[in-house]
Amino acid sequence: MATSTTDTAQFVELVKGARHIAVLTGAGISTPSGIPDFRSPGGFYSDQRNSNVFDIASFRKDPSFFYDFARRFYPLLVAAKPNEVHEALAKWERAGKDVRIATQNIDDLHQRAGSTHVYPVHGTLATSTCLSCGQRIETRLLEADVLSGFIPRCDCGGVFKPDITFFGELLPDRVWEGAKEAMSEANLVVVLGTSLVVYPAAALPDFRPSGAPLVIVNREPTGLDRQADVVVRGDLGVVMDRVSRLV
């Protein structure tokens, strides 16, 4: 896919000039790490049988449906490694910029790349919480149970649910506030790998101050392209790697 050099050059200049950068990332940045995009055509949700895997009422009734899915999905997440996009954002932070990342992704690849201000607005798979007593535990400690076909349970007998936001649950409040604040304090907002169709996350760039430029890098057109100062179409890894070397 062709990438315009002019747009990339403008992107580089904006990053160089910005002290506070707020980033919104979506599935498109994790697919190169081997994590499937559930919403893509032909993806997970296009199969009707999967439509309520992430539904909280269904989970409470029978968590085995979710954990049958998790048995296939958890190993992909554990094996996934941060790619050029995650690395580039971590590098900006190491270079002294205030980089705050709101992500729709439930993996922890930003954190593993070294970014420290990450707001997972749809929750995270990194931890799980007992639905009965509220005990929180690292999900990787439950992985052996999940892979052996067990439903992971707490000492109290309750079922562990990953801290992903399921349909029917509220978004994590503090995380959402942090993401909004990151946008409202930014001198540059960068959207990476999301078509901006899932609300309320897609509305986050609207919280940027007037005058803060908006850059969108995505394979497909997005609903905010018209408002953006720079739109770069192309392979995210290639674009971010190039930008990263020039910044």
Residue placing its CB nearer to Zn ion in the complex, 152 or 213: 152
- Count CB atoms within 10 A of the CB of residue 183: 23
Q: Least distance to Zn ion from the beta carbon of 138, Å?
A: 15
CA distances from 72 to 125, 146, 199, 203, 211 (A): 14, 10, 27, 32, 45
Q: Least distance to Zn ion from the beta carbon of 5, Å?
A: 55
Give the whole-angstrom CA distance, residue 14 versus residue 184: 17
Residue placing its CB nearer to Zn ion in the complex, 64 or 132: 132
DSSP reduced 3-state for 244:
helix
Contact set with Zn ion (CB under 5 A): 130, 132-133, 135, 154, 156, 158
CA distances from 128 to 22, 37, 124 (A): 27, 22, 9
Of 32, 16, 11, 30, the C-alpha closest to 231 is: 11
CA distances from 247 to 11, 19, 212, 240 (A): 9, 13, 18, 10
Q: Least distance to Zn ion from the beta carbon of 145, Å?
A: 14
Tell me if residue 122 is catalytic. yes
Q: Least distance to Zn ion from the beta carbon of 57, Å?
A: 20
Residue placing its CB nearer to Zn ion in the complex, 46 or 135: 135
The strands making up 214-218's β-sheet, listed across from edge to edge, are 118-120, 98-103, 20-25, 188-192, 214-218, 230-233
Q: Least distance to Zn ion from the beta carbon of 67, Å?
A: 17
Please state whether beta strands 188-192 and 136-138 pair in parallel, antiparallel, or not at all (unpaired). Answer: unpaired
Residue placing its CB nearer to Zn ion in the complex, 64 or 135: 135
Residue placing its CB nearer to Zn ion in the complex, 110 or 161: 161
Residue with tokens 């392979």: 235
Catalytic residues: 122
